[in-house]
Amino acid sequence: MTVSVASAALAGIDAALITVETRVCPGMGYLIVGLPGDAVKESLFRVESAISSLELTMPRQKILVCLAPAGVRKEGAVFDLPIALSILAASDQLAPEQLEGFLFTGELSLTGKLRPVKGALSVAMEAHKNGFQRLVLPKENAAEAAMVSDLAVFGFERLEQVIGFLTDPERVKPEPVPDVKERPDNLLFVADFADVQGQAEVKRALEIMAAGGHNGLLTGPPGSGKTMLAARLPGIMPPLTLDEALETTRVYSVAGALDSSGLMTQRPFRAPHHTASDIAMVGGGPVAMPGEISLAHQGVLFLDELPEFHRQVLEVLRQPLEDRQIVISRASYTVTFPANFVLLAAMNPCPCGFYRHTTRKCVCTPHAIRKYLAKISGPLLDRIDLHVGVGPADMTKAQTESSAAVRARVIAARDVQMERAGRCNGLMNPAMVKSFCALGKTETAVLQQAMVQHKLSARSYERILKVARTVADLAGEAHISLAHLAEAISYRVK
């Protein structure tokens, strides 16, 4: 007898429908076909122990499991639950019709406990897309999967609970759909702008970055507050929209970094150490996993001590900064991960950190300074919109406005951008820049002069216009004035 059960496998942050076909026939032994990975090949041993622990019967015949489509590589232990249920149905311990209309996913322990899986939200979205009305998965993944509307999600802790539910489905209620808002108000950030004394110019630059989604580089001596200021950038960015939150949640779910609360409501802030490899940064591995740039999706990727990163690691950022996604191609798979992040980097002006310091003397030779700065390529620097100098911290200056006050202005500016172009200024394409960043004759002449005088690239020209547009939006102006343009140019030339 052959029984088919629906399940799903991950491919990047998406899921693909997988049919688990099981047949119990004369003979001995277990066999799984359909390009199973090592964890999938071991699943029948976990399933046998889980079924035996429930005092049910593991068939002592040949068990053939086919994971279709056969040409798709299957990884992980997510097929334990559907394989166990299909074996019970194929051996007449469950009625096959009881499994119809369900999609199952979950890892089994040797005692029948259901362990959480990665990518539950993506699996739920795939189930809904393919017309399934009910999804059964581990209890710890239920809140996450319940974000998908029009899909009844049932979470269980043990295999026997799943069997009891299939026998009498009406006795268990589905997981309640979480009450989420388009813009959640419960934004709690420990790091607040009010904690930072002085540094008004840097705070202004961070406000522009948050409003327009621009990349930035902070350059200053040790102890000037670069890291402290960077940690406060997410607190002034607009709250995640529901679509942004769902996509960010999918990335963290696939990475196994999502807690049981379900939907992510705060923008990510990722600060990898400078010893991180290029694979850790962009993602990949034997089983494709998101890297730091994808974990920073819709948030901030902070690279402290930028010149200390390996040059190869920094160079892999160039393409994602343009395309806002990363395509990982290997011999056996190709996946795409989103990577729409704000890059914020910090560095010292020289190896000792005190080049051009007002009170400290730099001990570096000119050659050492050039070698230090040469670690960062020109093409990467060209993709950074705002180059901000950070002076020594002035502890005598009073505290300034809070992050909430700054965030209110950022949200207002971002709303203007979304209404005008459907995206933030940092993501405008060339046609949008031409349409929404038009300059007058005087402004055009000033920008052309700056381009010639400072030998700026065509990419710099476009990014200056984007920043100027953001400055104008923060000022509530419909047109870019000379003051707005001058401020944008000042962040480009130092």
Q: Assign domain 193-426 to a CATH class.
A: alpha beta
Residue 183 has pLDDT above 50, yes or no: no
Q: Where are the domains of the chain?
A: 2-171, 193-426, 428-494
Question: What's the pLDDT score for residue 494?
Answer: 64
Question: What's the pLDDT score for residue 438?
Answer: 94
Question: What's the pLDDT score for residue 190?
Answer: 64
Residue 92 has pLDDT above 70, yes or no: yes
Chain segment 432-465, per-residue pLDDT in tens:
999 999 999 999 999 999 999 999 999 999 999 9
Quickly state the pLDDT bin for 106 (edges 50, 70, 90): very high
pLDDT averaged over every residue in the chain: 91
Residue 214 has pLDDT above 90, yes or no: yes
DSSP designation for 287: T
Chain segment 28-87, per-residue pLDDT in tens:
888 999 999 999 999 999 999 999 999 888 998 899 999 999 888 899 999 999 999 999
Quickly state the pLDDT bin for 282 (edges 50, 70, 90): very high
Question: What's the pLDDT score for residue 72?
Answer: 85
Amino acid letter for position 440: G
How far apart, in whole angstroms, are the C-alpha atoms of residue 469 and residue 476?
10
Helix (H) or strand (E) holding 451, with range, is helix 441-454
Q: Nearest Cα to 141, choosing from 302, 251, 258, 52? A: 258
Chain segment 328-386, per-residue pLDDT in tens:
987 777 899 999 999 999 999 999 989 988 888 899 999 999 999 988 999 999 999 99
What's the pTM?
0.90
Residue 276 has pLDDT above 50, yes or no: yes
Q: With H, G, I as helix, E, B as strand and everything else as coil, classify residue 455.
A: coil
Helix (H) or strand (E) holding 280, with range, is helix 278-282
The CATH fold assigned to 2-171 is: Ribosomal Protein S5; domain 2 (3.30.230)
Give 81 or 176, the one with higher predicted confidence.
81
Q: Nearest Cα to 482, choosing from 464, 466, 468, 461? A: 468
The arithmetic mean of pLDDT across residues 483-488, rounded, is 96
The arithmetic mean of pLDDT across residues 472-486, rounded, is 96
Question: What's the pLDDT score for residue 186?
Answer: 47
Chain segment 386-405, per-residue pLDDT in tens:
999 998 877 666 667 889 99
CA separation, residue 58 to residues 67, 90, 99, 185, 335 (Å) = 20, 11, 18, 52, 37
Alpha helices in 62-199, H assignment, sequence order: 80-90, 120-129, 142-145, 159-167
How far apart, in whole angstroms, are the C-alpha atoms of residue 244 and residue 344?
20
